[in-house]
Amino acid sequence: MARIGISEQQVFEAAEQLLQGGQAVTVSAVREVIGSGSFSTINGMLGKWKEANDNRRPADSPDMPESVARAMRQLWGAAWKEAQDGIKAEREALEAARRDMERERRDMAAEIARLEAENAAQAEDVARLSASLEDKAALLDKAEKAETALRIENARLDERSKAAEARAEDLKQELAQLHSRFQELAASRLEGEGTATGKTAKAKKSPPPSEAG
């Protein structure tokens, strides 16, 4: 079942009733008098009524007794003092909080500066180490190339040494052969000379042949 809406007349009559009764004219009070209606609808209609009745006071509102006024002034003074004390305490608390925040901000700024300086120093160390590593890598590469060249040269020298040893062995064998040949030739020569000497001596010992006469 659909909810029945309220009219401006109902809102205005409820507001007049509250005003004449010496009560505050509020959205909640008007709704309570009417018994229904949304707060937004009542607020819009009540706004129109307040624009037209802003300066009105309840007709049957009596003057405040002096004793009540004095009590209200005392209450108001106490409330004002309490409010001032509260405001002072809040101001002091806010000032303390502001000082703490300022100190924390300075500490954070100092910490950030320290970290930035530390990062800069670390960056310099990294750059220096990187350059050192590059230099060492270059030296290592140079040393490896030198070692490779030395190994190649050693292998070449080893081959030459082996070739020289083989040549020396060949020369040694050739020398031995020449020495043996020389000994053979020397022995053959001595043997030839001995044979010739024997024939000469034999020829001297034998008589000459007689002449035929």
Q: How does DSSP assign 63-83, residue by residue? A: PPPHHHHHHHHHHHHHHHHHH
Specify if 19 maps to a domain.
yes
Q: How many domains are there within the chain?
A: 1
| pLDDT (0 to 100) of residue 1 | 43
Specify if 210 maps to a domain.
no
Specify if 49 maps to a domain.
yes
List Cβ neighbours of 46 (8 Å cut-off, separation of 6 or more). Answer: 11, 15, 25, 27, 30
Specify if 142 maps to a domain.
no
* pLDDT tens digits for range 159-212: 887 887 888 888 889 888 888 888 888 888 888 777 766 666 666 665 555 544
| pLDDT (0 to 100) of residue 107 | 94
User: CA–CA separation, 4 vs 72, rounded Å?
Assistant: 44
Residues of the chain predicted below pLDDT 70: 1-4, 55-65, 196-213
Question: For the chain, how far is it from start to end, CA to CA, in angstroms?
Answer: 201
- Helix, strand, coil share of the chain (percent; to 5): 80, 0, 20
Question: Contact, 89 vs 50, CB < 8 A?
Answer: no
Specify if 182 maps to a domain.
no
Specify if 188 maps to a domain.
no
Specify if 15 maps to a domain.
yes
State which amino acid sits at residue 140. L
pTM of the model: 0.31
**Residue of 15, 77, 61, 7 whose CA lies nearest to 36:** 7
| pLDDT (0 to 100) of residue 205 | 60
Specify if 12 maps to a domain.
yes
**Residue of 21, 24, 25 whose CA lies nearest to 11:** 25
- Domain range for residue 17? 1-54
